[in-house]
Structure 1
Amino acid sequence: MINIEQMASVLEALPDPAFILSRSGKYVAVFGGSDVRYYHDGSGLVGLYVSDLVKPEKADWFLEQINRALETRRLLVEEYELSSGDVKGLPDEGPEEPIWFEGRIQALDFLVDDEAVVLWVASNISERHDLEIRLRELSDTDQLTDLFNRRKLERDLVLHHETFSRHSAPTSILMFDLDNLKKINDSRGHHVGDEMILAVANICRSELRKTDTAYRLGGDEFVVALPNTGRERAVQFAARLHQSFRKELSRFSVGNTAVTVSIGVTTMMPADRSYEDTLKRADGALYEAKGLGKDRVVSA
Structure 2
Amino acid sequence: MKNNDLDWWLDLVPDAALVVGQDQMVVAANARADAMFGAPQGALRSRALEVLIPEASRQAHRQHVAGFFRQQTCRAMGSGLRLQGQRLDGQLRPMDIMLNRIQVANQELTMVVIRDDSERVAMVKLGDELAATTARLARAQEVGGLGWWEYDSDGQRLIWSPMVPAILGVPEEVEPSLALVAEQCHQDDRPHLRALHQNLMKAPGTCLTYRIRRPDGELRWIRETIDHGTGNRVLGVMRDITTEKTLEDRLRAESTIDDLTGLYNRKQFNRDLKSRYADYTRLNRNTSMIMYDFDHFKNINDCHGHLMGDNVLRQAAEIVAGQLRASDNAYRLGGEEFAIIIGNTGPGDARKLAERVRSSVEAARFRLGDSIVRATVSLGISQFRASDTNFEDIFRRADEAVYQSKSASRNTVRVVA
TM-score normalised by structure 2 residue count? 0.51
For residues 183-194 of structure 1, what are the structure 2 equivalents within 5 Å?
Answer: 183-194=299-310
Q: How does 1:53-72 map to 2 (within 5 A)?
A: 58-62=189-193
- Measure, in 1, the Cα distance between the counterparts of 2:191 and 2:250: 30
- In 2, the alpha carbon distance for the partners of 1:163 and 1:29 equals 52
The residue that corresponds to 1:157 in the other structure is 273
Identity, in percent, stands at 28
Alignment of 1:57-206 (within 5 A): 58-62=189-193, 75-83=205-213, 95=217, 98-106=219-227, 108=228, 112=232, 119-165=235-281, 167-206=283-322
User: What is the Cα deviation at residue 260 of structure 1?
Assistant: 2.2
Change (3 A) 1:195 1:50: closer
Seen in structure 2, the aligned counterparts of structure 1 residues 53 and 136 have a Cα distance that, compared at 3 Å, is closer
Matched with 1:5 is none
Q: Read off the aligned partner of 2:192 and give its amino acid letter.
A: W
Q: Comparing both chains, which one has the higher relative contact order based on Cα–Cα distances under 8 Å and sequence gaps of 6 or more?
A: 1
Taking the aligned partners of 1:56 and 1:194, their CA distance within structure 2 comes to 42
Range that drifts further, 154-163 or 138-147: 154-163
How many pairs does the alignment contain? 264
Mapped to 1, the partners of 2:194 and 2:390 lie a distance apart of 40
RMSD over equivalenced CA pairs, Å = 4.0
Q: C-alpha deviations, 1:108-159, integer Å up to 9, x for none? A: 38774xxxx8543221112332233234333433232232222232333344
Question: Counterpart of 2:158 in 1: which secondary structure?
Answer: strand
The structure 2 residue matched to 1:17, chosen from 119, 125, 147, is 147
- In structure 2, distance between residues paired with 1:262 and 1:53: 53
Q: Match of 2:163?
A: 34
Q: CA deviation at 1:33?
A: 4.4
Residues 151 and 157, structure 2, Cα contact 8 Å, conserved in 1: yes
Structure 1 residue 178, shift from structure 2 partner: 0.7
Question: Helix, strand or coil for the counterpart of 1:105?
Answer: strand
Question: What is aligned with 1:87?
Answer: none
CA distance in 2 between partners of 1:56 and 1:35 (Å): 20
Preserved contact between residue 14 and residue 32 of structure 1 (Cα < 8 Å): no
- 3-state SS of paired residue (2:238): strand
CA distance in 2, matches of 1:296, 1:37: 60
Relative to structure 1, the CA distance from residue 51 to residue 260 in structure 2 (aligned partners, 3 Å threshold; closer, same or farther) is closer
Structure 2 residue 376 is matched with structure 1 residue 260: yes
- Aligned mates of 2:286, 2:413 — CA distance in 1: 20
Which has the higher mean CA deviation after the structures are superposed, 182-191 or 48-57?
48-57
The secondary structure found in structure 1 opposite 2:325 is coil
Does the CA-based 8 Å contact 1:141-1:147 persist in structure 2?
yes
Are 1:44 and 2:176 matched, yes or no?
yes
The CA deviation at 1:43 is: 4.4
Deviation, 1:295, is 1.9
In structure 2, the CA distance between the partners of 1:214 and 1:110, relative to structure 1 (3 Å rule), is same
Matched, 1:227 2:356: no
Q: Secondary structure at the match of 2:352?
A: helix
Measure the CA separation in 1 of the matches of 2:282 and 2:234.
Answer: 40
**1:100 deviation in Å?**
0.8
Question: Gapped runs of 5+ residues in structure 2?
Answer: 1-142, 367-371
- The one-letter code of the counterpart of 1:61 is H
Corresponding residue for residue 8 of structure 1? none
